[in-house]
Amino acid sequence: MPVETEYYDTLEIDPSADENAIKRAYKKLALKYHPDRNNGDTAAAEKFKQVGTAYEVLSDAEKRALYDKRGKKGLEEGGRGGGGDADDIFSMFFGGGGRSRGEPKPKDIVHELGVTLEDMYLGKTKKIAATRDRVCVQCKGSGIKPESKLDSCRKCGGAGAVIGMREIFPGMVQRVQMRCDACSGQGQCVRPEDICPGCRGAKIAKERKVLEVHIEKGARSRDHVRFAEEGDQVPGVRLIGDIMIFLVQKPHDVFQRVGDHLLFQHEITLHEALCGFEMPLEQLDRRMLLIKIPPQQVIDPSFSWYVHREGMPIPGTGGTEKGHLVIHFKVKFPASLDSTAKKVIGEAMNYRVPQIDKSQNPVATKLTASVPKKQQQKHGSQQQQRGPRGGGMPQGMPGGIPVQQCQQQ
């Protein structure tokens, strides 16, 4: 057991978490608290730094072992403290590549792109516009017109700071150095007529960039596309920031996605469950599937059924390999049956009324059906999440309920 668990608590994981769990936790929290998604939120910015520091330590086997044994104090004494920049860690985690330690780089611009399940099934190229800071082309980042010169600030003499007096308590003052308000600490001033008209002295200008995002067949929510050096520029900084586009799947009216598989829920009558039926179903590429349940097949609602290779395309295969279409049938029972129907059903199923031993004088009671609506919805949600298991289970599906295969034309 680690001597302290602060970094584990920061990533919201158990101290026994493996490398993959640490990566998943960092990815989730880094995206949640990234400054571009929480503009102006100082608490989120601080949390983002803490998450980066925790990941830097726990993702390194040696640092993690030292931290578990001696805590943060041991890391500091051993010169292995988590001192990396949070944006550097974020950039490297999402494929931004490395650079010289300490070399400044503008923050990455992060955007989310809503994508339909149809687009993830078929693949598509979508355009997205991003606004970025670029060095002004008119003044090349100087903030003044070409051939103009900066004058030394008269107030601070070019030092960028002035000496002022600050009262500590009545009767006692202290000399302190303060930033010059005339030149904003730059030590130089420019005449109004010499200010660059393109950026108005800001040295950078806003620019709108249209990017084409290629969504491959089988792409998943939270997949990302990186556009290297398409982000912000900062005057005097060699490196250019990147733009990262994260895909976010939009909810679908018919299907639910679980990994490479598609889940579909369908309500059928008791007659259909016992006697078979045919059901047309439109696939995401608008093909019409005919799902056939033969008359001799009885539908057990505790099972899920699947259509082989009619799920989502598997990423990296170009759509040649697919998961499965998993169908869960919900049987709608009749509210009541008359005596004739009961007799017919009983004879068809060879049902015999069981004989009850009344020697112990059992007390007759009345059974009333009462299932809260919220509980029904919760149960249905759990069934969706669990997925199929048992014989004939589609590879890669989570454990849950048994699966059988449907016929399809």
Interval 205-254: pLDDT, tens:
999 999 999 999 999 998 999 999 999 999 989 999 999 999 999 999 99
Flag whether pLDDT at 48 surpasses 60.
yes
Residue 401: the pLDDT is: 46
Predicted structure pTM score: 0.66
Out of 2-6, 126-130, 305-309, 375-379, pick the least confident.
375-379
The conformation of residue 1, written as its DSSP 8-state character, comes to -
Containing 329, the helix (H) or strand (E) segment is strand 325-332
First-to-final CA distance of the chain? 57
Better-predicted residue by pLDDT, 294 or 150: 294
Query: 124-247 with 256-351+370-408: one CATH topology?
Result: no
Residue 172: the pLDDT is: 78
CATH class of 256-351+370-408: mainly beta
Helix 19-33 vs helix 42-58: angle between axes, to the nearest 10 degrees? 160
Query: Of 77, 29, 80, 74, which is closest to residue 56 (Cα–Cα)?
Result: 80
Flag whether pLDDT at 397 surpasses 60.
no
Q: What is the mean pLDDT of residues 357-386?
A: 63
- Within 10 angstroms of residue 255's Cβ, the number of other Cβ atoms is 21
> Cα-flanking dihedrals φ and ψ of residue 308, to 5°?
-60, 130
Q: 127-155: per-residue pLDDT in tens?
A: 999 999 999 999 999 889 988 888 889 88
Residue 383: the pLDDT is: 45
Q: What is the mean pLDDT of residues 73-102?
A: 63
Q: How confident is the model at residue 325 (pLDDT cuts 50, 70, 90)?
A: very high
Residue 82: the pLDDT is: 54
Percentage of residues in the chain with pLDDT exceeding 90? 46
CA 179 to chain centroid: 43
The conformation of residue 364, written as its DSSP 8-state character, comes to P
Alpha-carbon torsion, ordered 372, 378, 383, 386, to 10 deg: -150
Flag whether pLDDT at 100 surpasses 90.
no
Mean confidence (pLDDT) of the chain: 84
Give yes or no for a contact between 258 and 375, defined as CB atoms under 8 angstroms apart: no
Better-predicted residue by pLDDT, 99 or 42: 42
Count of all residues that appear for the chain in the document: 409
- Provide the 3-class DSSP secondary structure of residue 19: helix
Flag whether pLDDT at 353 surpasses 50.
yes
Q: Where are the domains of the chain?
A: 6-93, 124-247, 256-351+370-408
Which fold is adopted by the domain 124-247? Chaperone, DNAj Protein; Chain A (2.10.230)
Percentage of residues in the chain with pLDDT exceeding 70? 84
Which fold is adopted by the domain 6-93? Helix Hairpins (1.10.287)
Query: Of 179, 187, 186, 183, which is closest to residue 162 (Cα–Cα)?
Result: 179
Give yes or no for a contact between 25 and 17, defined as CB atoms under 8 angstroms apart: yes
Give yes or no for a contact between 191 and 151, defined as CB atoms under 8 angstroms apart: yes
Flag whether pLDDT at 384 surpasses 70.
no
